[in-house]
Structure 1
Amino acid sequence: MSAPRPAGPDEAPAVAALVDAAFAAYLPRLGRPPGPMLQDWAANVAAGEVVVVADETGALDALARIVPEPEALLLDTLAVRPDRQGRGLGRALVAVAEDEARRRGLARLRLYTNALMTENVALYTRLGFVETHRGGEPPYQRVFMEKAVPRP
């Protein structure tokens, strides 16, 4: 695994493909594409919001879209290639987001996930996030979560 780094502009197609692969399992459950599959990943990469981890060949293994907000840092999307899940890549990218929040002087990370993505809710809970509220309508009911970012 390479160190997390910003995605390059030429990597936008690979970023979109990784998101599609990571979220494809949810298509039958939701009956439509999850929000991350509908995003403009070229624009997100161009805005400098995407951090990636690649394998030894340079193929993308995981990514996070991290968006600064006035009160917190939003972890908008966390995606890991299905064949790379369970290797700590998501945890490593959450740590990158925590470091970025500290660098910006923000005390919280925020995220939301679909309520039907129960595995994600469980993962984020294990990583220290707590549910703050729910909103939206099925199949896009969201679980909003946040995590305090400890100071060094």
Structure 2
Amino acid sequence: MDPALPPVRHAPDDPALPALLKLIRDSFAYMDGRIDPPSSMHRLTLDEIARHCTSGEVWSLCVPPVACLFLTPKPDCLYLGKLAVRTDLRRQGLAARLVALAVERARALGLPALELQTRVELVENHATFARLGFVRVGTTAHPGFDRPTSLTMRRKV
């Protein structure tokens, strides 16, 4: 990892949590009007981020954060959520650095794979995750939808 952008694991009382929430909202704003149902980031609160710092892991690159990632251990994988990169810093390898961090964390936790979900409409994200070693393993539908709304993707570690 580049020492200029050190990875930071956040605690529930971290004063950087409001900056994380802003990063996620700003980074996911392009999805508005493209995905249905709307992103869960609209319901994300500081309290939920703080809880995730305890129930899972919340990481960012740098403080204030320029990229972030939520990790949730599951029985057979480490789930990646809320992967966000500041819009003016995209295409510089920050998402790849966070995925590499997730690989390290999965290995440390003894988990054999990473898993994530990406919305069906966000084809550019499908391609990005494929370049990072993820393969599509299924689809899911949000409650009330009779069509797939998300792709499930996995990567062995």
Q: Provide TM-score, normalisation by structure 1.
A: 0.87
Query: How many residues align structurally?
Result: 146
Over aligned residues, Cα RMSD in angstroms?
1.9
1:131 alignment partner, one of 116, 119, 136: 136
Structure 2 partner of 1:116: 121
State how far apart, in whole Å, the 2-side matches of 1:53 and 1:74 are: 18
Helix, strand or coil: the match of 2:34? helix
Cross-structure match for 2:112: 107
Which position in structure 2 is the counterpart of 1:72? 77
Distance 2:66 2:148 in 1: 26
Deviation of 1:5 after TM superposition, in Å, equals: 1.5
Q: What is the TM-score of this pair, normalised by structure 2?
A: 0.85
Greater displacement, 43-52 / 120-129: 43-52
Where structure 2 has 5 or more consecutive residues not aligned to the other structure, the ranges are none
1:2 aligns to what SS in structure 2?
coil
Say whether residues 1:42 and 2:50 are aligned partners.
Answer: yes
CA offset at residue 138 of structure 1?
7.6
Q: Secondary structure at the match of 1:28?
A: coil
Matching residue within 143, 148, 152 for 2:156: 148
Q: Distance between the aligned counterparts of 1:12 and 1:52, measured in 2?
A: 10
Q: Write the distance in 2 (CA, Å) between the matches of 1:131 and 1:141.
A: 14
Q: Deviations over 1:8-38 (max 9, x none)?
A: 4211111110000110001021266312342
Structure 2: which amino acid aligns with 1:119? E
- Runs of at least 5 residues in structure 1 that lack an aligned partner in the other structure: none
CA apart distance, 1:139 = 8.9
Counterpart-to-counterpart distance in 2, 1:84 and 1:62: 9
1:27 maps to what in 2? 32
Query: Which residue identity lines up with residue 148 of structure 1 in the other structure?
Result: K
Does 2:23 correspond to 1:18? yes
Contact 1:72 1:110 in 2 (8 A): yes
> 2 CA distance for matches of 1:14 and 1:138?
36
Q: 1:7 — aligned with what?
A: 10
When residues 65 and 26 of structure 1 are mapped into structure 2, their CA distance, relative to the original with a 3 A threshold, is: same
